[in-house]
Structure 1
Amino acid sequence: MTSRLNPDDQQHVEEYLQLSQHQVERQPFRPWLLLGVILAVVIALGLLSRFLSYLTL
């Protein structure tokens, strides 16, 4: 893909992206872990809701 920036601006962008604070190593995305966390939160909130309704009735 060609850039719509002029060469000087493109060079500034490339230099900016090469700075150390933009070179962070990230762990791979784990969708099953995310699904597990969401499921655990939903179950915990459901149990809390049932417990609170038990206390108020």
Structure 2
Amino acid sequence: MPSKLNPEDQARVDKVLRQGANRVERKPFKVWTLFAVLLLVLTLMSGVSYWIAWQYGVV
């Protein structure tokens, strides 16, 4: 996609974006931690739903 800015303005925008104020240091993304949390949440929700069904005599 071509820029709508003239080259001088685009150079100024690029300079501002390269400055440290616009960079945030982040921890590396941990896929396995996300997977473990999702698995834990789904297991807990399944257990609660099974317990509720058991209390009402559905199971």
TM-score (norm 1): 0.73
Matched, 1:11 2:1: no
CA distance in 1, matches of 2:41, 2:28: 22
TM-score (norm 2): 0.71
Percent sequence identity over matched residues? Answer: 33
Which consecutive unaligned segments of at least 5 residues does structure 1 have?
none
Q: How many residues align?
A: 54
Letter of the 1:50 counterpart: Y
Which consecutive unaligned segments of at least 5 residues does structure 2 have?
none
